[in-house]
Amino acid sequence: MRKIDPHTLLSALWLFILLNVIFRDFHQLGMAWYLESLLTGYQNGVEITDEIMLMAGILVQVPIGMVLLSHVLARKWLRRATFLAVPITAAGMMLAPPTDMDDVLHLVIELLAILVILSVAWRWPDDQATPARA
């Protein structure tokens, strides 16, 4: 396997997670029961309120922001941001429990990617720190 700059690898992994989240949600739209539950204003027995939608929007901003931060932050700050973003993102994933087998598949893949992100950030040697760009 070729050597990939940790900044690029972390950004790609965050994008990988986002694509899985988006496809998981989009894929549900093909299920009649899911559409019917959305029309009732309840999902998994929880009323979907403006506050819940705001919280979901905030939670998804974490991995979206990490895609950008992975490219612009220096190693020191990116590692700190990653160690903060990983538990927030993982907790957000666990808030919407899987409702069928494809949801389980996507959740497992997303959580594995989170573990890889954590591993890359944890094992990123100081001597690989990228010099600041002008």
Per-residue pLDDT of the chain (134 residues; tens, 9 = 90+): 788 999 999 999 999 999 999 998 888 888 888 888 888 988 877 898 999 999 999 999 999 999 999 999 999 999 999 999 999 999 999 987 787 898 999 999 999 999 999 999 999 988 755 555 54
Task: State which amino acid sits at residue 87.
Answer: P
CA dist 114 → 11, 36, 121 (Å) = 12, 32, 11
Q: Which tokens sit at 7?
A: 């900044």
At 134 the pLDDT is 47
CA dist 53 → 7, 45, 86 (Å) = 31, 15, 21
At 63 the pLDDT is 97
pTM of the model as a whole: 0.86
Q: Which residue's structure tokens are 């409702």?
A: 99
What is the longest distance spanned by two Cα atoms in the chain?
55
Tens of pLDDT, residue by residue over 18-44, are 999 999 888 888 888 888 888 898 887
**Non-local CB neighbours of 115 within 8 Å, separated by 6+ positions:** none
Please report, to the nearest 10 degrees, the dihedral formed by the alpha carbons of residues 77, 82, 84, 85 taken in order.
Answer: 130
| 124, 81 contact by CB (below 8 A) | no
